[in-house]
């Protein structure tokens, strides 16, 4: 009777015959478990930006201090507690427009003041537009229109928007400030003429034309307040990098044109000869 062959001899024999190496059972189990272990798939984090086609490309910052909300002021205020007047502009304070008469947007909280005021100055600090308005009785986001031909192309202007808490003491005003520049973009104009209003929002945002993107989208939301896609675009625009408003501000209601602040008297417009059409 032949003695059983040692395991190692069997391994050599089988390797020679069949061309493979016999692995120990423990090694086989480890190899199979490693092979069967699925590679975890990392799910992309879903954000508002990924849920909309809107992409905002802002111009470089001018390095100016952020004045989108008022600085703290002394005395008794005229604004509802824990609410701030807010200018809907990028954190850089700079917003571009292609329009001769753009619209600026603000969140105006519930206030007891009888008037608000918009003042626009050129780079020489000369006033080119000044207008007081009767505020709306309802808190929300409102649009304030500039008259035609206030802004010259390729020039920057500083604007101040104020809640006048006490007309006898303007140091108590709640003031926000920004910079606006009117630009000329012929290639963008051609694209705008060939698309829908919602397509214009995307084109304005891609070109970094903040005020026109916001105004076009606001008007669309006025006409279609229950449109989910427009709401997503609004949130994407206001929370985009370089803008970064929080959700409480994003969810503020839009005040329609008939309810927006109304001019109290004829506006003051100066330096007409400085405006390049």
CB neighbour burial string for 42-76, b if at least 16 within 10 angstroms, e if fewer: eeeeeebbeebebebebbeeeeeeebbebeeeeee
Question: CA-to-CA distance for 135 and 264, rounded, in angstroms?
Answer: 10
Please give the domain boundaries of the chain with CATH numbers for all domains: 7-35 (no CATH), 52-272 (2.60.40.2550)
Asked if residue 219 lies in contact with residue 236, where contact means CB atoms within 8 angstroms, the answer is no
The confidence score (pLDDT) of residue 64 equals 74
Question: Mean of the pLDDT values across residues 63-88?
Answer: 83
DSSP 232: H
Least Cα distance to 98 among 193, 203, 184 occurs for 184
* Length of the chain as a residue count: 277
Contacts of 258 (CB under 8 A, 6+ apart): none
Confidence of residue 123 (pLDDT cuts 50, 70, 90): very high
- Of the spans 16-20, 31-35, 77-81, 130-134, which averages the highest pLDDT? 130-134
Examine the pLDDT at 20 and tell me if it is beyond 70: no
Examine the pLDDT at 72 and tell me if it is beyond 90: no
Question: CA-to-CA distance for 186 and 268, rounded, in angstroms?
Answer: 31
């Amino acid at each position: 009777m032949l003695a059983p062959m040692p395991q190692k001899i069997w391994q050599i024999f089988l390797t020679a015959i069949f061309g493979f190496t016999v692995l120990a059972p423990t090694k086989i189990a480890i190899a199979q478990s490693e092979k069967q272990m699925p590679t975890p798939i990392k799910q992309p984090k879903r954000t508002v930006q990924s849920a909309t086609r809107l992409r905002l490309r802002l111009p470089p910052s001018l390095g100016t201090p952020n004045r989108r909300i008022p600085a703290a002021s002394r005395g008794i205020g005229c604004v509802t507690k824990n609410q701030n007047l807010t200018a809907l502009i990028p954190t850089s304070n700079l917003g571009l427009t292609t329009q001769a008469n753009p619209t600026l947007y603000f969140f105006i909280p519930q206030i007891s003041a009888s008037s608000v005021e918009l003042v626009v100055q050129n780079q020489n600090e000369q006033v080119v537009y000044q207008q007081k308005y009767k505020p709306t009785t309802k808190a929300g986001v409102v649009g304030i229109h500039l008259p035609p031909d206030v802004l010259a192309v390729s020039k920057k202007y500083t604007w101040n928007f104020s809640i006048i808490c006490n007309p006898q003491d303007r140091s108590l005003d709640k003031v926000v400030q920004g910079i606006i520049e009117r630009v000329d973009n012929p290639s963008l104009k051609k694209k705008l003429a060939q698309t829908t209003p919602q397509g214009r929002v995307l084109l304005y945002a891609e070109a970094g034309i903040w005020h026109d993107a916001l105004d076009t989208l606001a008007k669309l939301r006025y006409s279609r307040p229950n449109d989910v896609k427009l709401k997503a675009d609004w949130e994407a625009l206001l929370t985009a990098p370089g803008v970064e408003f929080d959700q409480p501000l994003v969810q503020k209601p839009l005040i329609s044109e008939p309810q927006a602040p109304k001019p109290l008297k004829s506006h003051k417009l100066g330096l007409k000869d400085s405006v390049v059409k």
